[in-house]
A and B are shown apart, each in its own frame.
Chain A
Amino acid sequence: MKRLPLIVPAVLLSLSLSGCTGGAQANPTANAAPVAAAGESAATKVGAQSEEGHDLGNGRPAVSFDGLMVRRRVVIAVHSTLEANVEGIRKKLDTAAAARNTVLSNISPDVLEPAVLQQVVPEVIVALPDTASVEDGRAIVTKATEEGTAKLGVNNFYVLPVLVHDLRFSVKTGNPAALSAAVDREGILSDALGNYDTAARDGELSISYTGPLLGDELVETVRGGMARQAHVASSTIAVGPKSTSGAGVDMATEPPWDPELLENQIDHPHTDG
């Protein structure tokens, strides 16, 4: 396994992740329903599926919508105190990124692996552009901490590679603005995706999402949420990548996240003033 050294001494809490960015469940097909014995109750049959692969908790869900729809990104997550100046921290990072002509974007903390998320519980987490590397992230953190960040309530910075879904849902419709309003109003997409971008023009409603991996069930929920208001079948809702350029991720070959790797991480508590 190839490991990525991500350490910035005294500033950066780093993880040796070997490019592994998934959860405990590796096999996207692991939640396939088992064949039930004859006479077995319906309740027992459905129960055997239970929670594996669902969009529940912080583990990796079953993801069939992969390839160009799944991308690698780099995030900076900040472990801070309860009294941290969250806005100040974000401003520091934005300023440091701007010095490198980089724009940071918001992203859900749920992109982090479960063990990292439970340890860091970041109040600030930002994503670098899709072309950025871990080294770029380290450089931004180094720049941001030149004058010290402890007064802002920062304990540590993490620069981490993560997997994200980069999806576009679309449907043809006679009145995309009205459909967009109806979809927003019902709130199914808000629950499933959090924030998303909408384009309603040229006879099409298009909804774009970049964020934590969505299980297949959740992708179908989004399609269903659009289809309900468009009065079409869910299968009519197209699902594809936001961009056809660059490299995607084949989830079938993506190694699982190994929590034990976190046990061996090198911890560099933030000590500067």
Chain B
Amino acid sequence: MATRRDMLKLSMLGGAVALTGMKDGPVLNGVSARRGADDATTPTATTTPSKLAPKNTPVPYTATFRRPPELVPFSTGRDADGQPFAKYSLTQKLGQAQIAPGLSTTLAGYNGIFPGPTIRVPQGTRTELRISNALPTKGLLYTEPSNTVTHLHGSASLPQYDGYANDRTAPGKVKNYKYPNWQAARTLWYHDHNHMLTAQGVYSGLAATYTLSDAHEQAQLPQGEFDVPILVTDVMLNADGSLGYNDNGHSGLWGDIVMVNGVPWPTMKVKPRIYRFRFLVGSITRSYRFALSTGDPFYVVGTDAGMTPKVQAVSSWRQGTAERYEVLVDFRKYRPGQSVELRNLSNKNNVNYANTGKVMKFQVVADSPSPAGSNSRSISSIPSTLDVGEPPSKATGGLDTMSLTPDMAVAKRILRVQRKNGEWTINGETWDTVEKSGFTRCFANPQRNQVEQWTIVNESGGWFHPVHIHLIDGKIIGRNTNGGKPFAWEGGPKDVFYAGENESVTVLMQFDTGKHDGGRYMVHCHNLVHEDHDMMVQFAVGDLRNNDPIYADQPVPETMPAGSFASNYRAAYPAGT
């Protein structure tokens, strides 16, 4: 039996080696849904980490911070019932980025950029994202067709718009994703979810921020210039600047270059004000523990699914892939000219390199007026509590997530995330089990608006698993460490639950589908190579036949000429801010 460490040694010598054999999946949309190309037993060309020459190697804090551009809808208006809508168009295509000095990196992104365009939506405005796949026939990092699936992470979407892993859009096709946006303000993100190749898709660049705002959030937290997206990823580059990829035999990918919004270790100019940072870890595997070089606190005001009722000061926090934490940093105590580093103290079961302990640097500059028309607003003091408002779906039985109590739960379930006989499994099953059942196999079948208590148990060794439960907002009520309590930074609603080595985490959740009847939703590890191979199962809310996630609204051939929908972006903030 080859141990994982043996696999690592092999992969370091020449490439990743498969742990699972080649298997063919069902045919969808006329395209064979074969298992991932990285399952091939032939060595891949790239090993970790970067192979850049010194002159091309990024140097921390020399690059300028930037925010992803904010996309303007191509159409807005109101439906017959008065509900506002906004329609956006995105094209998945190849593009060029400069990550390594003097070299160009080809990526596959939404509108050809990474991160993709930010989309900002007010609560109550429904959106449509027309996503056209204009990628080449073959993938950027694999030889399979570059099919895509788009998941809006954090949205209670209908199953057919939730990025079901087998609901693939082939090159030359387009799918119009529809999002309700009735939920409370939060930081979401949209990213690829193409089973077996999700890691490669996201790593290639298919990831972007999407924010939902509401009156409560706008009144209490910084806005505009002082509301900053921080999408953290790690990559490895080949000598020519192209993306390297090595998932160490489907165990994990650890790059040696840390990027914020696609820029390696940038420096950001900040005014002596209170800033709100929306931290989103978009890494394939790596988890982070963010800390300031000054030892000063962060104030946690938001988690995956919205604001925290109580603001918690923390000197660092642990954040895994796909988790979102919104924090305030008070720069008013610093003088212009001072610098503060954002560092990564790392967590157990990560692979660290020379500069993966660094993330970005803040350079304090003199205060000045915000750009006209940016609706920028900071706040004058750190709040101790936040008013999250009434549950948006109260009229249809929706409950406040952070008010859920164990006695409300109609069922208690355990999800054991396991490394078992060489496979990543949940309760001993994989997505292969679901596929072979014709997509009918469900781990659970709660009814609409019911509350359940799930405990995620990780007892299979030296790995951490950030487990994402689609659809729901959950409240962590217990852990088997930390005195049985959630960590200090976990005081708000969440949809990704970090189960560290030998940890278990207990969560209460309501299956609130809003106005629709539910259907099938996925549960998986958000270490994307674990998800791909094959740590994913599903549950159904109500009748699993409702809202078929694959066939209810299938992609169609793209008939619009390129450029039919202009990509207009809002005015950018000054460079470095």
Q: Do A and B bind each other?
A: yes
Residues on A facing B (Cβ under 8 Å) = 23-25, 39, 41-47, 49-52, 54-59, 82, 108-110, 114-115, 117-119, 121-123, 184-188, 190-192, 194-195, 217-218, 221, 224, 228-229, 259, 262-263
- In the assembled complex, B487 has its CB within 8 A of some CB on chain A: yes
* Beta-carbon contact of A121 and B5 below 8 Å: no
Q: Are B428 and A82 in contact (CB under 8 A)?
A: yes
Q: Are A115 and B3 in contact (CB under 8 A)?
A: yes
Interface segment among B32-40, B199-207, B346-354, B468-476: the answer is: B346-354
Q: Is B545 an interface residue (CB 8 A)?
A: no
| Pairs across A and B, CB under 8 Å, 6 listed | A50-B48, A50-B49, A108-B501, A108-B502, A118-B419, A187-B316
Are the C-beta atoms of B351 and A186 separated by less than 8 Å? no
Nearest A-chain residue to B349, judged by Cβ: A56
Enumerate B457-485 residues with CB–CB distance to A below 8 Å: 457, 459-463, 480-483
Interface of B is mostly: loop
| Chain A residues with CB below 8 A from B5, complex form | 23-25, 57, 59, 114
Nearest CB of chain B from residue A67's CB, rounded to whole Å: 23
Decide if B3 touches A56 in the complex (CB within 8 Å). Answer: no
* Distance between Cα atoms of A114 and B346 in the complex (Å): 23
For window 472-514 of B, CB contacts with A under 8 Å fall at: 480-483, 487-488, 500-503
Minimal beta-carbon separation of A189 from chain B (angstroms): 9
Contact of B57 among A43, A119, A191 (CB under 8 A): A43
Chain B 330-344 interface 0/1 with A at a Cβ cutoff of 8 Å (1 = within): 000000000000000
Please report the C-alpha to C-alpha distance between residue A54 and residue B252 in the assembled complex, in whole angstroms. Answer: 14
B286 to chain A, nearest CB (A): 12
In the complex the two chains form, what is the Cα distance from A104 to B178 in whole Å? 55
Once the chains are docked, how many angstroms separate the CA of A229 from the CA of B314?
A: 11
State the Cβ distance, B258 to closest chain A Cβ, in Å.
Answer: 12
Residue B14 lies at the interface, judged by CB distance under 8 Å to chain A: no
**Residues of chain A within 8 A of B87, CB atoms compared:** none
Q: Are B351 and A50 in contact (CB under 8 A)?
A: yes
Residues of B within 8 A of A56 (CB): 349-351, 462
Residues A114 and B57 in contact, CB atoms below 8 Å apart: no
B49 and A47 contact, CB distance less than 8 A = yes
- Report how far A109 CA is from B295 CA in the complex, Å: 35
Task: Pick the contact of A39: B54, B251, B481, B483 (CB < 8 A).
Answer: B54
Q: Which residue of B lies closest to A260 (CB)?
A: B1
CA distance A115 to B254 in the complex (A): 24
Chain B hits for A50, CB < 8 A: 8, 12, 48-49, 351
**Contact between B459 and A123, CB atoms less than 8 A apart:** yes
Across-interface contacts of B419 in A (CB, < 8 A): 58, 117-118, 121
Contact present for A191 and B3 (CB under 8 Å): no
**Shortest distance from the beta carbon of A229 to any chain B beta carbon, whole Å:** 8
Write the nearest CB–CB distance from A186 to chain B, whole angstroms.
Answer: 6
Contact among A110, A190, A224 for B481, CB-based, below 8 A: A190
Known interface pairs A56-B351, A109-B502; A24-B6 also in contact (CB < 8 Å):
yes
Q: Is B315 an interface residue (CB 8 A)?
A: yes
Binding site for A on B (CB under 8 A): 1-6, 8, 12, 48-54, 57, 248, 251, 254, 256-257, 289, 291, 295, 314-318, 345-354, 416, 418-422, 427-428, 457, 459-463, 480-483, 487-488, 500-503
Expressed in whole angstroms, the minimum distance between the Cβ of B11 and any Cβ of chain A is: 9
B54–A41 touching, CB < 8 Å:
yes
Within 8 Å by CB of B488, from A114, A121, A185, lies A185
Inter-subunit contact B420/A121 (CB<8 Å) = yes
List chain A residues, Cβ under 8 A from B416.
82, 121, 123
A184 CB contacts on chain B under 8 angstroms: 482-483
List of A residues within 8 angstroms of B248 by Cβ: 51
Task: Provide the bound-state CA to CA distance between A149 and B500, in Å.
Answer: 31
Contacts of A218 in B (CB 8 A): 348
Nearest A residue (CB) for B4: A57
11 more contacts with CB within 8 A, not counting A43-B49, A46-B354, A110-B461, are A43-B52, A49-B353, A82-B428, A109-B459, A115-B1, A117-B460, A119-B421, A121-B459, A187-B316, A228-B316, A229-B315
Shortest distance in angstroms between A123's beta carbon and chain B's nearest beta carbon? 7
Q: How far, in Å, is A181 (CB) from chain B's closest CB?
A: 11
- Closest residue to B488 on the A side, CB-wise? A185
Query: In the assembled complex, which residues on chain A have CB atoms less than 8 Å from the CB atom of B463?
Result: 57
A47 touches B348 (CB 8 A): no
B178 vs chain A, min Cβ distance (A): 38
Q: How far is the CA of A25 from the CA of B462 in the complex (A)?
A: 15
Asked if residues B346 and A221 are in contact (CB atoms below 8 Å), the reply is: yes
Across-interface contacts of B482 in A (CB, < 8 A): 184, 187, 190
With contacts A110-B461, A122-B459, A191-B500 taken as known, whether A55 is within 8 angstroms of B349 at the C-beta atoms is yes
- Minimal Cβ-Cβ distance residue in B for A107: B502
Residues of B within 8 A of A217 (CB): 352
- Determine the distance from Cα of A123 to Cα of B480 in the docked complex, in whole angstroms: 14
Among the listed B257, B348, B460, B462, which residue makes an inter-chain contact with A192, where contact means beta carbons less than 8 Å apart?
B348
Q: Would A110 and B502 be within 8 Å (CB), given that A25-B5, A263-B1 are in contact? A: yes
The listed residue (B52, B421, B428) touching A41 by CB distance below 8 A is: B52
Q: What CA separation (Å) do A41 and B463 show in the bound complex?
A: 30
Least CB distance from A109 to B in Å reads: 5
B461 touches A51 (CB 8 A): no
Enumerate chain A residues within 8 angstroms of B52, measured Cβ to Cβ: 41, 43
B420 and A228 within 8 A (CB): no
Contact of A82 among B345, B427, B483, B502 (CB under 8 A): B427
Q: Give CA–CA (A118, B348) in the complex, Å.
A: 19
A109 touches B460 (CB 8 A): yes
Are A43 and B50 neighbours in the complex by a CB distance under 8 Å? yes
Shortest beta-carbon distance from B290 to chain A in Å: 12
Chain A residues within 8 Å of B347, by CB: 191
From A42, A117, A186, A194, B461 is in contact (CB under 8 Å) with A117
Interface pair B421/A118, CB less than 8 Å apart: yes
On whether the beta carbons of B462 and A57 are closer than 8 Å, the reply is yes
Q: How far is the CB of A198 from chain B (nearest CB, A)?
A: 10
Tell me whether A186 and B8 are in contact in the complex, defined as CB-CB below 8 angstroms, given that A41-B51, A58-B461 are known contacts.
no
The CA-CA distance from A121 to B49 in the complex, in Å, is 31
> Taking the nearest CB of chain B, how far is it from the CB of A25, in angstroms?
6
In the complex, are the beta carbons of B3 and A23 less than 8 A apart?
yes
A51-B8, A110-B501 given as contacts; is B459 within 8 A of A259 (CB)? Answer: no
For residue B366, give the distance in angstroms from its CB to the closest CB of chain A. 31
The smallest beta-carbon distance between B481 and chain A, in angstroms, is: 5
Given the known inter-chain contacts A56-B462, A194-B481, please indicate yes or no for A118 contacting B422, CB distance below 8 A: yes
Taking the closest CB of chain A, its distance from the CB of B534, in whole angstroms, is: 15
A50 CA / B341 CA spacing, docked (Å): 25
Q: Is the CB of B462 within 8 A of A110?
A: yes
> Which of A42, A52, A82, A192 has the most chain B CB within a 10 Å cutoff?
A42
List the 7 closest A-B pairs by CB distance, nearest first: A58-B461, A47-B49, A43-B50, A59-B5, A46-B354, A24-B5, A108-B502
Return chain B residues, CB-CB under 8 Å to A47.
Answer: 48-50, 256, 353
- A59 x B459 contact (CB < 8 A): no
Alpha-carbon separation in the docked complex, A108 to B352 (Å): 24
